[in-house]
Amino acid sequence: MRQSRWTPSIVPADEPTVYLVADDFGRAGSAWRETDMESADLETVIQDLLAGEYRRPIKVIAFNTSERWSEDVSGAIAREIQRRCNLQLSDVPSYLREFVDRDSPQDLQQFSLRLV
């Protein structure tokens, strides 16, 4: 009898891209933060970062199991946080400063307006 090497996938088709944040808890260590499946999208993660839901974010990864890929998207997230703060003419929150400084290129760093 011939045996097949094919095994059915346990991953549902057309899964959305998931974003997870690694957070630094100081002496307690660091961990990938738990999140609801419905709250693991890009916009929610950015809003949660800006709202202070993470203590000291280290890294953000994105993955899509149905498309079989994963990627460190920390730089893109840091640039978006900087962009949003620039548009609002506000400083990057102190708890995100290290993350943004590390992962955002200098040409996107906060600009200041000269008063005339």
Mean pLDDT by 10 residues, the chain (116 residues): 55 80 93 89 96 94 93 96 94 95 65 50
Q: Return d(Cα 103, Cα 75) in angstroms, integer.
A: 5
Radius of gyration of the chain (CA): 18
Q: Return d(Cα 96, Cα 94) in angstroms, integer.
A: 5
The secondary structure of residue 26, as a DSSP letter, is G
* Domain layout of the chain by residue ranges: 18-104
Model pLDDT, residue 82: 94
Model pLDDT, residue 7: 52
Contact call for residues 63 and 18 (beta carbons, < 8 A): yes
Q: Is 63 helix (H, G, I), strand (E, B) or coil?
A: strand
Model pLDDT, residue 38: 86
Model pLDDT, residue 57: 96
The secondary structure of residue 67, as a DSSP letter, is T
